[in-house]
Amino acid sequence: MEIYEMTALQVAEKIRNKEISAVDAVESVAKSVEKREETYNCYASFDKESALENAERVQKKIDAGEVVSELAGVPIAIKDNICEKGKLTTCASKILYNFKPPYNATVVNELNDADMIILGKANMDEFAMGSTTETSYYGATKNPWDITKVPGGSSGGAAAAVAADESIVALGSDTGGSIRQPSSFCGVTGLKPTYGSVSRYGLIAYASSLDQIGPIGKDVLDVTAVFNIIKGRDVKDGTSMVSEVFSLDDIKIDSLKGKKVGIPNDYFGEGIDEDVAKNVLSAADTLKSLGAEVEHFDMSIVKYAIPTYYIIACAEACSNLSRFDGIKYGYKSSDTHNLRDVYFKSRSEGFGMEVKKRIMLGNFVLSSGYFDAYYKKALQAKGLICKAFNEAFDKYDFILGPVAPTTALKMGEGLSDPLAMYLGDIYTVMINIAGLPSLALPCGFDKDNMPVGMQLIGKPFDERTVLSAGYAFQSVTDFHKKKPNLV
């Protein structure tokens, strides 16, 4: 087995045991990137030289017997909206084509402190706006299972990099499903943590009340190990909070006896593919076989999920993206004659069409004539969604559902029918609205051999429960071990 095919914990163990070095791990992944990147386009930027320098530094610490983390020396890709000092961080947008942050995001400092090796910036939908990773300034990322299909988005580059063995693990961000949906489409495991459990300092914002950084890996244990490194209170992020401390051993359970699982009937109505529904319900039977009590219940608030999410997200996006004006940093139009030209032409030329649409929608719902009709009502609906989850968690330990109503779309299909692309987020956006943790993991395949993903939704700051349930599921299934036929 090549190093790049291993899990993060396997790589780390071999480094600790002196069977391989951190440099070997980076060289192995770089070899895979050089072979496959032209096909899959997982990276916005890949910095082999810097990664090797860091690997040599980490290896010296290991050789000297210094205390290292359980993932020391493991290569990791980070999404292109997470700031890294002196490294291109562009949000896959022309308007930030030359932006090199003067500081690190908190999660980058935490990865460095844990002696993980950052490989580069994973490709993404521009400013995280999209569900296909086709709106990137760097071109579309391809799904490793079928290059005629999308990897999902907006963290499509991160998920595809893990699936294509172009990274061992990755960090993505999730505003309305952007970790879970690409994890589902690419057959890997991804965690959207509770809002506030991981610092957002240094994450270039899309929608500040919804964004959350989280890990993507080959299995639940890898995801848990990375989550344990990046979680926790950060004085630079006023919304961050202290999370429960738990180890890998704490989630290694073989029984779900005593756990009660809820399945919303509304997740299995019109619009869901038969193969997706069948595989998720089959996963429910597996949870039953592990001792869990499974029960269906009604959650009619689902029908308000999409409009509520897009109103809130676009309203916050138009405010957050107002800082990109051609003055302070990033792209500035060369065809300007006055201040108005600088603003108008720099933003018109720098932003892609999807971003412009969402800025316009955000300004519309915040305008004086429509604020009460749209934005205020969306905030009221948000309250109802949070209440619905609170009531569900009075009865259930966690909730099971599909990640997306379909498996991976054909390239171009989502862009040609934006409404269909937006509706594809119907099962994921409510979790961000309510700020809950959700674990996405593979649970089967459709008739075209494309991965199907399910999600386990937990109570606030109860990542331990969903990760434990995910571990128990992966202990008796092998969907997460199946690999695409890579180039």
- Is the pLDDT reported for residue 420 higher than 90? no
User: Quick one: pLDDT band at residue 299, thresholds 50, 70, 90?
Assistant: very high
Chain centre to alpha carbon of residue 268: 24
pLDDT at site 474: 98
How confident is the model over 86-114, as a mean pLDDT? 98
The pLDDT tens digits for 223-263 are 999 999 999 999 999 999 998 899 999 999 999 999 999 99
Distance CA 350, CA 325 (A): 9
* CATH architecture classification, 3-258+396-481: Alpha-Beta Complex (3.90)
- Is the pLDDT reported for residue 417 higher than 80? no
pTM of the entire predicted model: 0.97
Please give the structure tokens belonging to residue 410: 């054909």
Answer for the pair 183, 403: CB distance below 8 angstroms, yes or no: yes
Side chain identity at residue 212, one-letter code? Q
CA neighbor of 262 nearest in space, from 34, 415, 466: 466
CA neighbor of 385 nearest in space, from 429, 439, 438: 429
pLDDT at site 423: 80
| Residues forming the active site | 79, 154, 178
The pLDDT tens digits for 358-396 are 999 999 999 988 999 999 999 999 999 999 999 999 999
- Is the pLDDT reported for residue 180 higher than 80? yes
Pairing label, strands 169-173, 213-217: antiparallel
Distance CA 216, CA 335 (A): 42
pLDDT at site 119: 98
Cα–Cα distances (Å) from 141 to 60, 101, 124, 135, in that order, read 36, 24, 8, 10
- Is the pLDDT reported for residue 429 higher than 80? yes
Bridge partner residues of 136 (DSSP): none
pLDDT at site 196: 97
The pLDDT tens digits for 33-68 are 999 999 999 999 999 999 999 999 999 999 998 878
What is the domain partition of the chain in residue ranges? 3-258+396-481
Cα dihedral 191, 194, 198, 204 in deg (nearest 10): 80
Cα–Cα distances (Å) from 468 to 9, 71, 431, in that order, read 17, 20, 19
3-class DSSP string for the chain: CCHHHCCHHHHHHHHHCCCCCHHHHHHHHHHHHHHHHHHHCCEEEECHHHHHHHHHHHHHHHHCCCCCCCCCCCEEEEECCECCCCCCCCCCCHHHCCCCCCCCCHHHHHHHHCCCEEEEEECCCHHHCCCCCCCCCCCCCCECCECCECCCCCCHHHHHHHHCCCCCEEEEECCCCCCHHHHHHHCCEEEECCCCCECCCCECCCCCCCCCEEEEECCHHHHHHHHHHHECCCCCCCCCCCCCCCCHHHHCCCCCCCCEEEEEHHHHCCCCCHHHHHHHHHHHHHHHHCCCEEEEECCHHHHHHHHHHHHHHHHHHHHHHHHCCCCCCCCCCCCCCCHHHHHHHHHHHHCCHHHHHHHHHHHHHHCCCCHHHHHHHHHHHHHHHHHHHHHHHCCCCEEEEECCCCCCCECCHHHHCHHHHHHCCCCCHHHHHHCCCEEEEEEEECCCCCEEEEEEECCCCCHHHHHHHHHHHHHHCCHHHCCCCCC
Please give the structure tokens belonging to residue 318: 């138009």
The pLDDT tens digits for 218-228 are 999 999 999 99
Cα dihedral 139, 142, 147, 153 in deg (nearest 10): -120
Which residues does 351 contact at the CB level (< 8 Å), separation at least 6? 93, 94, 95, 126, 321, 324, 359
- Is the pLDDT reported for residue 416 higher than 80? no
Side chain identity at residue 443, one-letter code? C
Percentage, residues of the chain above pLDDT 90: 94
pLDDT at site 62: 94
Mean pLDDT of the chain: 96
- Is the pLDDT reported for residue 415 higher than 80? no
CB count within 10 Å of CB 100 equals 14
Q: What are phi and psi of 168, to 5 degrees?
A: -80, -45
Which residues does 221 contact at the CB level (< 8 Å), separation at least 6? 7, 9, 248, 251, 471
Least confident among 83-87, 154-158, 266-270, 478-482 = 266-270
